Amino acid sequence: MRYRLLLIFWMIISPKVLGEEIIRIASGEWPPFLSQHYNEYGAGSHIVTEAFALEGIKVAYIFYPWKRSMETARDGNVDATLLWSKNEERAKHFLFSDPVLTLRHVFFHRKDLQFDWRDIDDLKQYKIGVTRGYFYGEQIQEAIENSLIDTEVGNTDIINFKKLIANRIQLFIVEPEVGYELLAKNFSESDRKLLTNHHRAIQERQWHLLISNKVSQAEEWLERFNKGLAKLKSQGTIDKIMEDVIMGQYSEKSLAVSPAKSKPFIIVGDSLHPPFSYLDNGVPKGIYMEIIKQAFKRMGREDITIELMPWKRALHMVKSGKAEGIFPPHYFPAKRPFLGYYSVPIMQEISTVFCNAKNLMKIGINFKQLKTWPDDLKHARFVLSLGVLMGGDKFWQGVNSNAINATKVSGPEDAIRKITPGKLDCHINDRVTIQWYLKALKNKYPSIAIEDIMEVFQIEVEAGYLALSAGFSNNDAKSFLEKFNSEIQSMKEEGVIQQIIDRNISNAKLPLSNF
């Protein structure tokens, strides 16, 4: 122990150890992103370590309480600190890196609370938990300072979760990754099942590495770090690290998994894909959800459990052998070799372009005369959902070269809200998705004008499937899928699938919570 402490002290006082270039970074506890107790010191630390490693620099982490971490770096006693947002005061003492992480704050609440919100007025009836010393964005800060909302300060996020479970507060603000990690580590399963989160982000915030301007190598290190960070992004390493956050890979406790006495038959689906499969206040819903549930019932397979979760976690469940199948992947057998068997197509998903017809007319585009995609709409202003890559190579070449004007938002609801009042012109998504969101918004806000939103192009057609794990024997998979495919075909011929689609669109309702 004495030797270890001496080595750590030596690393702290010297930027060079045995000829190696080392940057000393002070940090605080913020699992799963920063923690001295987590693998790789947390996901945020891992990103920083890998970015510096690509530039030949090693990192020594020192963990302090947050205030001391900042002060130690500010005074130049260590070289840098992470993760922090930008403000004018910090800019006096530090150089800011490019964003290491972009995270969002959301409201957590009990599942028995029918909660929805769009603006501050919707929050006035609730007591909202906030954690001492945290900043939740200008909107919330101004509401607190002007007493527009009722807040109660807790010393830690864990204390606020305890208040939420006890119903002493009705809402609590925290990042979903942090919130679910804290719940998994500190609360019983019965307590965790009481809570969910609202899908709408309160704010998105960027988090940076701060390098002290008292360090002689500050500008050089900043340039090299940003260069390494850009390489990580282009390699897809950061996306992989964030996937591992969802899987709980950075927490040491996640490695201890109790063996199950008997393995159930589990089919997993996407919890964040309205109207096809999603959680609404913890309740599984969606078009694919209804179709496959009915098909299993017609097969007499009451033993099958359907679970919805974020898509990357669902894929991991099948890949790791914890689930037998997944819905609704598109057909990419080479990309996902762990999915060995695919059903017949359950339904078509048609990529389409919807536009505000009045807007197009204002810029001299007659939507009735459009023939060539995307050339005929090259002067339109597009709004795109993050993660949706429909449109084809030529369209995306135009977007990436700024030849096509494109704004990105968090999802279809926000996209449609941009084109209904005419702020932007066009949106690309699956046809059923757009129809569902248009109806859901109209059902909730009858005054919203959707009459001018028209489908102007059909781009491509894909299909969603039920896929089984490659771990099945060929005979077992063939037997299962023969029965499943037969029921899907019968449901198509009987019009059952179209009825499910039509009913979901007609009764469309924006989910209250979705994680």
Residues 37 and 121 in one domain: no
Name the pLDDT band for 176 (thresholds 50, 70, 90). confident
Output the pLDDT for position 367: 83
Among 195, 219, 252, give the residue marking a domain's end: 252
Closest to 126 measured CA to CA, from 109, 111, 138, 139: 109
Residue 513 belongs to a domain: no
Does 54 reside within a domain? Answer: yes
Count of domains for the chain: 4
The pLDDT tens digits of the residues spanning 121-170 come to: 999 999 999 998 888 888 898 999 899 999 999 988 999 999 999 999 99
CB-based contact 110:193 (threshold 8 Å): no
Clarify whether residues 326 and 438 are in a common domain. Answer: no
* The predicted structure's pLDDT at residue 234: 87
Decide if 45 is inside a domain.
Answer: yes
Task: Say yes or no: 286 and 196 in one domain.
Answer: no
Q: In what order do the strands lie in the sheet with 304-309?
A: 304-309, 265-270, 325-327, 467-469, 339-342
Distances 454 to 13, 35, 427 between C-alpha atoms, Å: 65, 50, 10
144 closest CA partner among 202, 189, 93:
202
439 and 501 fall within a common domain:
no
Amino acid letter, 105: H
Does a structural domain hold residue 330? yes
**Can you give the residue range of the structural domain that contains 426?**
349-462
Mean pLDDT of 321-348: 92
Specify the CATH number for the domain of residue 76: 3.40.190.10
Rounded CA separation 444/441 (Å)? 5
User: Do 281 and 197 contact (CB within 8 A), yes or no?
Assistant: no
Q: What is the pTM of this model?
A: 0.56
Same domain assignment for residues 160 and 228: no
Question: Which range has highest mean pLDDT (168-172, 272-276, 347-351, 444-448)?
Answer: 168-172
Task: Answer yes or no: are the C-beta atoms of 436 and 409 closer than 8 Å.
Answer: no
Give the separation between CA 15 and CA 60, rounded to whole angstroms.
Answer: 10
* Assigned domain for 427 exists: yes
